[in-house]
Amino acid sequence: MMHFLDGMAPLADRYDGFIVDLWGVIHDGVSPYPGARDTLAALRAAGRRVVLLSNAPRRVSVVREGLRGMGVGDDLYDGVMTSGEYTRGLLADRTDPWFAGLGRRMLHLGAPKDYNLFEGLDLERVEDPAQADFILNTGPNPEQGEDDPTPYLPLLDACAARGLKMVCANPDLEVIRGGRRLICAGLLASLYEQKGCAVRWIGKPHPEVYGPVLHMLGVPTARVLAVGDALATDMRGAKAVGVDGCWVLGGIHQEMIGNDTALATAEATSAGLTPVACVPSFRWTA
């Protein structure tokens, strides 16, 4: 049964470690949500461990810098992991059998801001699918548009014709940036998968990305709470790794659900998910 709470304060005593999503919980891609920084500070003051886990397709260092720019200092959390950082590790190490067979010629589907994910690796970036060994998908880019997948379909068709494998470094389907709904890498990957092509998904809700997060927290999983705004990634990911979930209604589902508790319950139930709690936003309210 989900408990509908005003804020995070009642949960602080029940858990020792918190896995906290970024986009939709801490910030909207432009600025922090009201109360988010204070809530992180309150958790830290209570001696709780906090690790931020994001499906951002970029390096941890870049995400940290962005948080500092929003006034979210390094002292407000214990660690960060991103789907981009985890993807880079797999591309660099090549110890995973799936990655070991990818080849070195990479077609990057994404924006220049995501180049940091693969810069410095032994990869050759190509633009022609005929020359590529695989696709690295970090999402749309501003030049082709960020709110409609249609401009990307010809490239996906050309890659599918060659049977190229795709690495998806952000499983999110969409995100809200400053009030505007944008598509993400996950939507493009879903379209590609529908063509019968192989996609390796890196990030929430897939369990492997939680490994380093749980290691950084260093507390029993029974004492860990995952906080996020997306049922499909945050809450499903929590269930996959056996930790409790707290669903923040003020992010990606805000337009559809608002603060309608009956609708929230119905949506979670239909998804086969049972977060232990729901909050309107990541706020404290003792």
For 111, the domain range is 102-201
- Residue 72: inside a domain: no
Domain match, 117 and 192 both: yes
Give the pLDDT of residue 147. Answer: 86
The answer on pLDDT for 114 being more than 90 is yes
Contact status, residue 19 vs residue 51, Cβ threshold 8 Å: yes
- Whether residue 88 is contained in a domain is answered as no
> Are residues 195 and 225 located together in one domain of the fold?
no
Same domain, 115 and 189: yes
Quick check: 213 pLDDT over 80? yes
pLDDT of residue 267: 86
78 in a structural domain: no
User: Within this chain, do residues 174 and 246 fall inside the same structural domain, yes or no?
Assistant: no
* Mean pLDDT, residues 187-211: 97
Residue 233 neighbours by CB under 8 Å, 6+ apart: 55, 171, 172, 203, 204, 205
pTM: 0.93
Residue 108 falls within a domain, yes or no?
yes
**Same structural domain, 120 and 194:** yes
> How much of the chain exceeds pLDDT 90, in percent?
82
Among the residue ranges 12-16, 159-163, 244-248, 251-255, the one predicted with the least confidence is: 251-255
Residues 225 and 197 in one domain: no
- Do 116 and 180 have their domain in common? yes
Non-local CB neighbours of 97 within 8 Å, separated by 6+ positions: none
Residues 176 and 250 sit within 8 Å (Cβ to Cβ)? no
pLDDT band (50, 70, 90) for residue 209: very high
Do residues 224 and 196 share a domain?
A: no
In this model, does residue 253 exceed pLDDT 60?
Answer: no
Q: 135, 170, 201 — which closes off a domain?
A: 201
Does the structure show a pLDDT above 80 at 219?
yes
Number of domain units in the chain: 2
Cis peptide before 220 (omega within 30 of 0): no
